[in-house]
Structure 1
Amino acid sequence: MNSGFKFFSCILLLFFTSGRAQEKIVIGEKHALFSKILNENREIWIHLPKTYNDHTISPAKYPVIYVLDGEINFEYYTGMSDFLARTPYADIPECIVIGIKNTERTRDLTPTKSQKKSPVNPNIMLFSESGESENFVRFLQEEVKPFINKNYRIQEYTVLVGHSFGGLFAINTLLTHPEYFNAYVANDPSLWWDNKIMISKTKEYLEKNKEFPKKKVLYVSQADNEEQQKNWNSDMTQAIEDFKKIIEQNGSLYYQHRFFVGEVHGTVSYPANYEALKFVFKGFRTDIKQLAKKPGQLEADYRKLSDRAGTEFLPSETYLNTVVKFMKNNDFKETETYFINFKNKLYPKVK
C-alpha cells in the first residue's frame, strides 16, 4: 500500500470517526436550584421519557419518580425505567425520573441528631452533621416538586426511591408526610439509626392511626450482607426484620419485602429497583394476544390499577398504536376497529 493511499485512508477514517463523535446519546439534563429552605444551591438531574417530545402523538402526562443519591443511581435508573416501559411489553408507564444530587447526605437524610459514639474512640461522635431530614423533605415538597410541576407535563403520581440513609428517609417520610408521595421504595434502609427510632415511630403511628392511608405503596428490599454480620453496624438486619413484622401484622399497606441472596448493602439497589418498579405499577402490563379475544379487558385492567393506585392510569397512545397494528397484521378486523375507536376517544385528533 503506497503512502498516498494510506494518507487518504486516514483522512476518510478521521472524517467518519469525527462524524460519529458528534452523535450523542443524552439521558438527561441538569438544573441548579437555590433552596431557600436549605440556604444553598442544589442540583437536580432530569430524565424525560422517550415519547415526551414525540410530535406524532398527543402530548402526554407522566408519573414522576424522585431518586435520592442521584449521582449514584440516576444513570442506571433511567435506562432501567425506559426498558421496563417499552411497548408492547411495558410493565410500567413511561416516567419522568428526577435525580437529587447530594451535598450533605447524612444531614439531609436522617431524622434525628446522632448520639452514636465511635467504637474506636468513644470521644468522637459519629455522624455529627445529622438530623435535618424535615428540612430536606420540605425542600422536595415545596421547591423541587413545584419546579417540576411547572416546567414539565406531569401526572399526579409520584414515587420516592431511597437506599440506606435514603431508605430511612423514605420510610420516615411515609410516617410523617404520607401524602407527599404515592409510593415509597426503601432499599436496605438504615433502620438501625438512633437505636431503631423508626421502629418506635412505626408503632406509634399505628397506635394512633390504626392503619396506613389508603392507596399507598411501600417496597422494602433487604441485602444479604453476609460479610457484614460481625460489623459494629450489624443490627441493620434485625431492624429491617422488626419493621417487616410490624407492617405485615398490621396488613393495611400495599407492601412487599424482598430479600436478595448474595447482594450486599452496596449492590442491592440495582436488582431491587427493578423489582420495585414492577411492584409499584403491578397491573399495568396487559397481554396483547388476549386482547384480540377480549378487547374490553384492557379497560378493565386499567380501571383496576387506577382504583388501587388512587389515580387514573390510561393506556398510552403509543401502546394503542401497537395494539391496532397487531390486530391489523393478524387480520382481527373487528378488534382493530374497536381499538381504533377506543384510541380516538382517548386521544382525539385536533383538526
Structure 2
Amino acid sequence: MNSRLKFLFLNLFLFFTFLGKAQEKITIGDKQFLFSKVLNEKRELWIHLPKTYHDTGISPAKYPVVYLLDAEINFEYYAAMTDFLSKPPYAEIPECIVIGIKNTERTRDLTPTKSQKKSPVNPDVVLFADSGGSENFARFIQEELKPFINKTYRTQDYSILAGHSFGGLFAVNVLLTHPEYFNAYVANDPSLWWDNGVLISKTKDYLEKNKKFPSHNFLYISQADNEEQNKNWNSDMTQAIEEFKRIVENNGTLNYQHRFFENEVHGTVSFPGNYDALKFIFKGFRTDIKKLSGHPKLLEEEYKRFSEKAGADFSPSETYLNVILKFMKSNGFRASEQYFNALKEKLYPKK
C-alpha cells in the first residue's frame, strides 16, 4: 500500500472515530408523564437520578428527593448543583433524586386564594383570574406524585420542596397547612404579598394555635434586592418578606434561615438561593476525611448527630466508604482501614 493510500485511510479512520465520539451525548435526566386525577390533566416531570444510581459496583442505595417547581426554568442548573455538592470526599449534601415539575397553569397551582389584580399597564386586563388552586396541587404532589416516585425509584424517606416567587409562596403555604408533607422547604423571593399578605395572617394564626413549628422542619428563604420593584405596582414584596421574617424569628422554634442577596434581583436570586439552601438544610452532613484517620468512630457519631437534627436516618454511602478506605490505604492507616472495612460490611453486606 503506497503512502498516499495509507494517508487516506488514516484520515478516514480519524474522521469516523471523531464523528462517533461527537455523537455521544451527556444527559442530565429523563421525562416522565403522570396523569393526575386530582387535577384532571397529564403532568410532565423531569427526572434527574444521582450518578451512582445505576452503579452495579455498589449496593442499591436509596436517595432523598427534591421536588422542584418551575422545572422549565430551574431543572438544568439544579440537577448539576446537586451532583456537584454531593461529590465525595467533600460532599456537602447526600446524593439526591431531583423531580422537576413542569407547569401547566402556574398561577392556578401555586396561589393559595382567589385574588385578582388589574394590569398596571392596561387596566382593562385582569390578572390572576385562575388563581387559588394550590390545595389541589399540594394534594396532587402528596397523594399522586410522591407515591408514583416512591414506587418507581429507590427513595429515602426524606424530601424537600423548592420554589421561587409564586413557587416560594406555595412552599410557605404547604409548610403552614401540611408541614408533614416535606422535611424541608425552600422559598426563593416568595410572593408573600399575595392577596394582601394572606400568608402573613395565616402564619400568625398558625402560631397562635400551635405555639411552635414542628421541631424537624426546615425553612430557607432567600430575598432579592428588589430595588426596582419598590417603584412599581408590586412594591409590597420586600415588606411582606420582612414581616414574615420578623414573625418567624420572634417565635424562634423553626429551623430557619433567611438570606438577603444584595446583587441579585427577583429573576436571578433562585440560583444562589437554591445553592445556599441545600448547604443550610444539610449543614452537618459533611465530615472531615482527614480527621477520621485518628478517630474513625467520628464518622458514625457525626452521622448520628446529623440524623437527629434532620429527623431522618442517614448513613455514610458505600461510595463514600470506598473513598475513605482508599484514603486510609494509600496513607498507611491500617487500623482505620480495618475499622472502615468492618463498617462497610455491616452497612452493606455482600449477599
What band does the TM-score fall into relative to the shorter chain?
A: over 0.9
Shift of 1:23: 1.2
Structure 1 pair 346/125, CA: closer, same or farther in 2 (3 Å)? same
Q: Distance in 2 between matches of 1:255 and 1:98?
A: 23
User: Who is 2:246 aligned against?
Assistant: 245
CA distance in 2, matches of 1:9, 1:262: 54
Write the distance in 2 (CA, Å) between the matches of 1:4 and 1:317: 53
Aligned residue number for residue 63 of structure 2 = 62
Shift of 1:124: 3.6
Q: What is the number of equivalent residue pairs in this alignment?
A: 349
Counterparts of 1:112 and 1:7 in 2: how far apart (Å)?
A: 71
Is 1:94 matched with 2:95?
A: yes
**Residue 261 (structure 1) aligns with:** 262
Maintained 8 Å contact 1:108/1:130: yes
The match for 2:126 is 125
Which residue of the partner structure matches residue 228 of structure 2? 227
Corresponding residue number in structure 2 for 1:105: 106
- The whole-number CA distance in structure 2 between the counterparts of 1:230 and 1:65 is 35
Deviations 1:160-191 (A, max 9, x none): 00000000000000001100000000000000
| Structure 1: distance between partners of 2:74 and 2:28 | 13
Secondary structure in 1 aligned to 2:19?
helix
**1:4 Cα deviation (Å)?**
8.6
Say yes or no: does 1:344 pair with 2:345: yes
CA RMSD of aligned residues (A): 1.7
Residue 123 of structure 1, CA deviation:
4.6
Q: CA 1:132–1:6 in 2, change beyond 3 Å: closer, same or farther?
A: farther
Quote the Cα distance in structure 1 between the aligned partners of 2:92 and 2:99.
20
Q: TM-score, normalised by structure 1?
A: 0.96
User: Helix, strand or coil: the match of 1:229?
Assistant: helix
One-letter amino acid of the structure 1 residue matched with residue 210 of structure 2 = N
Distance 2:344 2:30 in 1: 32
Distance in 1 (alpha carbons) for counterparts of 2:8 and 2:167 = 56
SS at match of 2:57: coil
- For 1:146, the equivalent position in structure 2 comes to 147
Q: Look up the match of 2:280.
A: 279
Alpha-carbon distance in structure 1 between the residues aligned to 2:167 and 2:10: 54
How far 1:333 moved relative to its partner?
0.9
CA distance in 2, matches of 1:329, 1:6: 46
Structure-2 residue corresponding to 1:18? 19
- Separation of aligned partners in 2, 1:18 and 1:4: 21
- SS of the residue 2:191 aligns to: coil
Offset of 1:120 from its aligned partner? 4.1
Tell me, in whole angstroms, the C-alpha distance in 1 between the residues paired with 2:104 and 2:6. Answer: 55
The 1:233–1:4 alpha-carbon spacing in structure 2 relative to 1, beyond 3 Å, is farther
**Which residue identity lines up with residue 260 of structure 1 in the other structure?**
F
Provide the C-alpha distance between the structure 2 equivalents of 1:77 and 1:127, rounded to a whole number of angstroms: 28
Deviations 1:213-234 (A, max 9, x none): 1200000000012232212112
State which drifts further: 14-23 or 199-208.
14-23
- Give ranges in structure 1 of 5+ residues lacking alignment: none
3-state SS, counterpart of residue 288 of structure 1: coil
Q: Tell me what 2:327 maps to.
A: 326
> Tell me, what secondary structure is at the counterpart of 1:197?
helix
Q: Could you tell me whether the CA contact under 8 Å between 1:116 and 1:194 is conserved in 2?
A: no
Give the drift of 1:13.
Answer: 5.5
User: Residues 109-151 of structure 1: CA distance to partner in whole angstroms, max 9, x if unpaired?
Assistant: 0001113233344454321111101111111111111110001
Q: Secondary structure at the match of 1:64?
A: strand
Provide TM-score, normalisation by structure 2: 0.96
Give 1:21 deviation, angstroms. Answer: 2.8
Code of the aligned partner of 1:329: S
Aligned-pair CA distance for 1:17: 3.4
Structure 1 counterpart SS, 2:50: coil
Is 2:332 aligned against 1:335? no
Cα distance in 1 for residues equivalent to 2:176 and 2:213: 9
* Counterpart residue type for residue 238 of structure 2: T
The code of the aligned residue for 1:275 comes to D
Q: Which residue of 2 aligns with 1:159?
A: 160
Query: How far apart are the structure 2 equivalents of 1:7 and 1:38?
Result: 62
Match of 1:292 in 2: 293
Q: Alignment partner of 2:127: what SS?
A: coil
CA distance in 2, matches of 1:113, 1:71: 25
| Counterpart for residue 171 of structure 2 | 170
Deviation of 1:5 after TM superposition, in Å, equals 9.5
Contact 1:64 1:96 in 2 (8 A): yes
Task: Could you tell me which runs of 5 or more consecutive residues in structure 2 were left unpaired when the two chains were aligned.
Answer: none
Whole-Å separation in 2 of the counterparts to 1:145 and 1:33 = 11
The range that moved more, 234-243 or 224-233, is 224-233
Is contact 1:159–1:182 with CA below 8 Å preserved after alignment? yes
Q: Distance in 2 between matches of 1:329 and 1:216?
A: 41
The amino acid across from 1:154 in the alignment is T
